[in-house]
């Protein structure tokens, strides 16, 4: 069942299908795994330990490494956003593609603005949610509503707190 939402910034109104939050997490994890071979490693530096021996240890606070790590994380975020846009366009948006989208795509192409070749992704990223606020809102409305809420977690803790004979009772932390 689809529901209608209105974007807070663009004002576009669309019908959406809710998707499981786990799908969002899976996309993000897959993108990080795909790019993992390119993930920078912290540089090693030699230190003298108490016995007088030299030992190499990682320096995860080296400025060059931190800059490389930031670029890597940005690449993972970009790849995740591209894949989420595809998932949102083809599974999250319930409305049919408007008739004017191909003509609008042609206008964008003529002006030199880089756009997706996929009309549905173009529609999502350039019309429905052209800015970060709208895109984040769309992600929350499609995926975020299926996340466990504080009340649900408390209920599950109570439901599954029972004693198992021969086992130590579990203690739950609020942190």
Residue 84 lies in a domain: yes
pLDDT of residue 171: 55
| 47 DSSP β-pair partners | 55
pLDDT of residue 93: 95
Contact 34, 75 (CB under 8 A): no
pLDDT of residue 145: 77
Residue 68 lies in a domain: yes
Residue 58 lies in a domain: yes
Residue 16 lies in a domain: yes
Residue 174 lies in a domain: no
pLDDT tens, residue order, the chain (175 aa): 789 999 999 999 999 999 988 898 899 999 999 999 999 999 999 888 888 888 889 999 999 999 999 999 999 999 999 999 999 999 999 999 999 999 999 999 999 999 999 999 999 999 999 999 999 999 999 988 777 777 666 666 666 665 555 555 555 555 5
pLDDT digits (tens, 9 = 90+) for 97-138: 999 999 999 999 999 999 999 999 999 999 999 999 999 999
pLDDT of residue 174: 58
Residue 74 token pair: 């940005």
Number of domains the chain contains = 1
**Cα dihedral: 56, 60, 66, 68 (round 10):** 50
pLDDT of residue 170: 52
What DSSP line would sit under the chain, residue for residue?
A: --EEEE-TTT--EEEE----HHHHHHHHHHHHHHHGGG---PPEEEEE-TTS-EEEEE-TT-HHHHHHHHHHHHHHHHHHHHHHHHHIIIIIB-SPPPTTHHHHHHHHHHHT----SSHHHHIIIIII--SHHHHHHHHHHHTGGGSPPHHHHHHHHHHT----TTSPPP-----
Residue 158 lies in a domain: no
Measured from the Cβ of residue 14, the count of other Cβ atoms closer than 10 Å reads 21
Query: Residue 40's domain spans which residues?
Result: 3-149
Residue 169 lies in a domain: no
Contact 147, 24 (CB under 8 A): no
pLDDT of residue 167: 53
Residue 140 lies in a domain: yes
């Amino acid at each position: 069942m689809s529901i209608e939402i209105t974007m807070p910034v663009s004002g576009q109104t669309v019908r959406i299908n809710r998707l499981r939050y786990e799908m969002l997490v899976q996309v993000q994890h897959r993108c990080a795994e795909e790019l993992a071979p390119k993930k920078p490693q912290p540089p090693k530096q030699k230190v003298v330990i108490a016995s007088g021996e030299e030992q190499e240890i990682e320096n995860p606070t080296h400025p060059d490494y931190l800059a490389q790590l930031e670029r890597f994380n940005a690449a993972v975020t970009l790849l995740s956003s591209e894949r989420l846009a595809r998932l949102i366009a083809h599974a999250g948006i319930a409305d049919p593609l408007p008739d004017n989208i191909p003509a609008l795509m042609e206008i964008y192409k003529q002006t030199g603005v880089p756009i997706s070749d996929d009309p549905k992704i173009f529609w999502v990223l350039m019309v429905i949610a052209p800015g970060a606020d709208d895109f984040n809102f769309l992600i929350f409305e499609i995926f975020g509503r299926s996340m466990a809420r504080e009340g649900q977690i408390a209920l599950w803790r109570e439901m599954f707190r029972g004693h198992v004979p021969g086992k130590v009772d579990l203690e739950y932390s609020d942190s």
